[in-house]
Amino acid sequence: MSPAPSIHGDVAAGFGPVADAFRRNFTAHGEIGAAVAVYAGDQPLVDLWAGHRDRAREVAWERDTLVPVFSSSKGMSAFTLAVAVSRGLLDYEAPVATYWPEFGAHGKERITVRQLIDHQAGLSGLDRVVKLNELADRDALARILAAQKPAWTPGTRHGYHALTLGLYQGELLRRVDPAGRSLGRFFAEEIADKVEADLFIGLPASEPMERIAVLSATKGLDILRYELADVPLRIGAEVYAKRGYSYAALTNPRPGAPARATRREFLEVEWPGMNGVGNARALARVYGAAAGRTGALPIGDEVLDLLAAAETAAIPDDDLVLHTKSRYHLGFRKSRGSFRFGSDKRAYGTTGLGGSFGFADPATGLGFGYSMNRLGMAILDDVRSRNLREAVIRCATR
């Protein structure tokens, strides 16, 4: 057991068990630095942080500490498209080629917006190697994306578009937004600013790197202590062999080692759904605004109803990339199988590499956010996140 750190922040009456679970993550599950937040609409119920933002455990994690949240930012990208749908700029059921004609090349003319954002398009990998610095040339990138051939028949299976989904979402949004904004700018102006969420897709030059926690990979004996049950052996084998859907989906574009993500040349690039940097409070504020229908987000009630609806795609549960059972719905994950979250099937959210997580629980009106700097190995259900969200739901529904 590790010593318990000082826990900072506030917890509303009745949510003390969340603070207990947060403390146990440090004493029993190898947490270095982390934050957890829960909002009921726009009201904070839990806002806690503790530990350190560096590997040497010398620099304290503070209230406004930021950290890369990787695919937890996919939910933020999904919300940007929900705004566009609410404004009549997009239709989830329309072909992507309606808005982006070049996308229809190589048999993609019938792929709908819903199929694209629900990881069914077969575009989880790119044939052309794309480097990090090439992502800034949106016109050239759009040509690469449009020219890609699907890896499977679209709409028949799903496989996590880990690195590519946000790129496709960004170009689609740029095509339909009357101002032609990038997804990162759209998110900042239409969502983050509205709810005062401290989360960026493309780190502004004005944000100092000193605010951002350094990530730590789990290595050596710590794998045995904390992660052995979660090691993704099949994915690792495909990546090592340089073949299969996992290899194609997880190695191009090439972001570099995840533990090195705390560097400006990576975070300053707008890579939607991949390199968002923020904190638990920001995730909880956005999801809380959606779940509690505060009116702060420019998303209509009909679209919020759609986000909370059950996923109904008639395709197998097996994810071709992650080799697990999962379901996606309008750009979000849904509670399914062994990976369950929220108080009922209406809950929706996205997880991030290493363990971060944010979700909306429409049944209770709660938004949840968790961020940390020790990178766990679980594909979906990191034990630290699970401990926290289960405590939240117990407190909210007892």
Please write the tens of the pLDDT for every residue from 24-50: 999 999 999 999 999 999 999 999 999
The H or E element spanning position 338 is: none
Residue 239 has pLDDT above 80, yes or no: yes
Please write the tens of the pLDDT for every residue from 81-120: 999 999 999 999 999 999 999 999 999 999 999 999 999 9
Q: pTM for this one?
A: 0.97
Number of helical (H) and strand (E) elements in the chain, helices listed first? 14, 12
Please write the tens of the pLDDT for every residue from 203-222: 999 999 999 999 999 988 88
Coarse DSSP helix, strand, coil percentages of the chain, rounded to the nearest 5 percent? 40, 15, 45
Catalogue the active-site residues: 71
Q: Are 219 and 228 in contact (CB under 8 A)?
A: no
> Would you state the pLDDT for residue 255?
79
Burial of 279 (0-12, 13-18, 19+ CB in 10 A): buried
Please write the tens of the pLDDT for every residue from 146-205: 999 999 999 999 999 999 999 999 999 999 999 999 999 999 999 999 999 999 999 999
Closest by CA to 370, choosing from 361, 358, 387, is 358
Please write the tens of the pLDDT for every residue from 366-391: 999 999 999 999 988 999 999 999 99
The H or E element spanning position 34 is: strand 33-40
Mean pLDDT over the full length of the chain: 95
> Would you state the pLDDT for residue 225?
82
> Would you state the pLDDT for residue 398?
85
- pLDDT exceeding 70 applies to what percent of the chain? 100
The b/e string for 144-177 (b: 16+ C-beta within 10 A; e otherwise) is bbbebebbbebbebbbbbbbbbbbbbbbbbbbbb
3-state secondary structure 245-283: HHHHHHCCCCCCCHHHCCCHHHHCCCCCCCCEEECHHHH
CA gyration radius, the chain: 20
> What average pLDDT score do residues 126-149 get?
95
Residue 231 has pLDDT above 90, yes or no: no
Residue 312 has pLDDT above 80, yes or no: no
Residue 141 has pLDDT above 90, yes or no: yes
> What average pLDDT score do residues 276-284 get?
98
What are the structure tokens assigned to 364, written together? 């209770």
For residue 64, the SS3 value is coil
